[in-house]
């Protein structure tokens, strides 16, 4: 196993997954931000597991939130604003190619869950779901109030993690070519 999380776009029935990105441990902050809208635990489409060890969330509102937060971050003192601007531009270009027409995102993280074999994958998925929902709530407050210094936002551990690992957090590779390549042909979900 490659110990990666895989991000896909999918239709309402989650019948076909279109490759978007993959990342090694830890699951990137930006994946979690994207997964914030109507996120739910669902069965895996990659692994033969009965328990709901994957997550599904709305794509379009997640992208809107990503760009809104990226815009806000530019008003902050950042470790390297060019990395953020490059990440936002790469993301915009990738999703402007009709990829945002799919209604859902699908996150498969079972390979990462396997790194902690003593904890069931379903429990780790529940923890990830909780973390995503916490980020969603925090971001709502941050984007409403727009504090002058985001680092002073109370209780959001993810902010500290984002700034402490700034370079790695911006290193997301958007691509239809993943190491776990799906054999399905690309579909139009519009």
Q: What is the pLDDT of residues 38-77, one digit of tens each?
A: 999 999 988 888 889 999 999 999 999 999 999 999 999 9
SS3 content of the chain, % helix, strand, coil (to 5): 45, 15, 40
Q: What is the pLDDT of residues 136-189, one digit of tens each?
A: 999 999 999 999 999 998 878 999 999 999 999 998 989 877 765 554 444 443
Q: Where are the domains of the chain?
A: 4-173
First vs last C-alpha separation in the chain: 33
**pLDDT grade, residue 2 (50/70/90)?**
low
Cα–Cα distance, 37 to 48 (Å, whole number): 26
What value does the mean pLDDT take over residues 105-131? 94
pTM of the model: 0.89
Which residues, 6+ apart, have CB-to-CB distance to 175 below 8 Å? 19, 20, 21, 22
Strands 104-108 and 173-174: unpaired
Q: Is the model's pLDDT at 100 over the cut of 70?
A: no
Dihedral sign from CA coordinates of 33, 35, 38, 41: negative
Q: In this predicted structure, what is the pLDDT of residue 190? A: 41
List C-alpha distances in Å: 104 to 13, 56, 92, 172: 10, 7, 17, 19
């Amino acid at each position: 196993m490659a110990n990666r999380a895989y991000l896909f776009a999918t239709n309402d029935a989650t019948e076909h997954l279109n490759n978007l990105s993959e990342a090694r441990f830890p699951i990137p902050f930006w994946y979690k931000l994207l997964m914030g809208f109507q996120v739910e635990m669902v069965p895996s489409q990659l692994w033969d597991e009965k328990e709901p060890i994957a997550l599904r969330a709305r794509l379009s509102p997640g992208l809107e939130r990503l760009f809104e937060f990226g815009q806000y971050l530019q008003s902050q003192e950042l470790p390297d604003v060019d990395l953020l601007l490059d990440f936002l531009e790469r993301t915009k270009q990738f999703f402007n190619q009709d990829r945002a027409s799919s209604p859902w995102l699908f996150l498969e993280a079972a390979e990462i869950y396997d790194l902690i074999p003593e904890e069931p994958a379903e429990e780790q998925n529940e923890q990830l779901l909780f973390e995503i929902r916490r980020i969603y709530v925090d971001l709502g407050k941050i984007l409403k109030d727009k504090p002058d210094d985001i680092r002073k936002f109370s209780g959001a551990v993810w902010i500290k993690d984002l700034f402490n690992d700034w370079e790695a957090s911006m290193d997301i590779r958007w691509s239809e070519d993943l190491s776990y390549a799906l054999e399905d042909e690309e579909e139009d979900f519009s």
